[in-house]
Amino acid sequence: MADYSFDVVSKVDMQEVKNALDQAEREIGTRYDFKNTNCSMELDGEKIELHADDEYRMTALIEVVQSKLIKRGVDLKSFDYGAPEPASKGTVRQTLSVKQGIPTDDAKKISKRIKEEGFKAQAQIQGDQLRVSSKSKDDLQKVIQFLKTNDFDIPLQFVNYR
């Protein structure tokens, strides 16, 4: 059995998301292009529901939310953007879903890439995370560097390094 290991996870700090939405609401309240409009946002569990008067304001609202999320250190790859849909009284609604955890197919891809690169490390899928283990800490460091330099369409964090 391997002596050292770390876990690859994909988690979003929901408190940071909440703080970013609060900052976005404050900015919307002061911006001239949002004056006298019915633009709003609501965090419900792991979904953000955005309401705007029209498509143009929805685009501007999304840009404000994204800029605040980036400033708070939340990766934009963590969100699934639903299609804008018409709502009551001619308004537009759009839902952003927060993605938590690594989906099984992505975990399989990451594990396969680690094996293809020839690292002396084993990757095991454990629920919504991936455990990488090896007999050498140096090999684990190389795997972390490899994963950081490749884009897997999900944000990755490395925890429980032992």
- Residue 133's domain is classified under what CATH number? 3.30.70.860
- Domain end among 68, 98, 128: 98
Domain count, the chain: 2
Mean pLDDT of the chain: 89
Whether residue 24 is found in the same domain as residue 78 = yes
Contact 6, 158 (CB under 8 A): yes
Whether residue 118 is found in the same domain as residue 66 = no
104-141 tens-digit pLDDT: 998 999 999 999 888 888 889 998 899 999 998 898 99
Whether residue 86 is found in the same domain as residue 110 = no
Whether residue 89 is found in the same domain as residue 132 = no
- Note the Cα 15 to chain centre separation in Å: 13
63-81 tens-digit pLDDT: 999 999 999 999 998 899 9
Whether residue 66 is found in the same domain as residue 40 = yes
Percent of the chain with pLDDT over 90: 43
Whether residue 23 is found in the same domain as residue 94 = yes
- Beta strand 47-52 with 40-44 is antiparallel
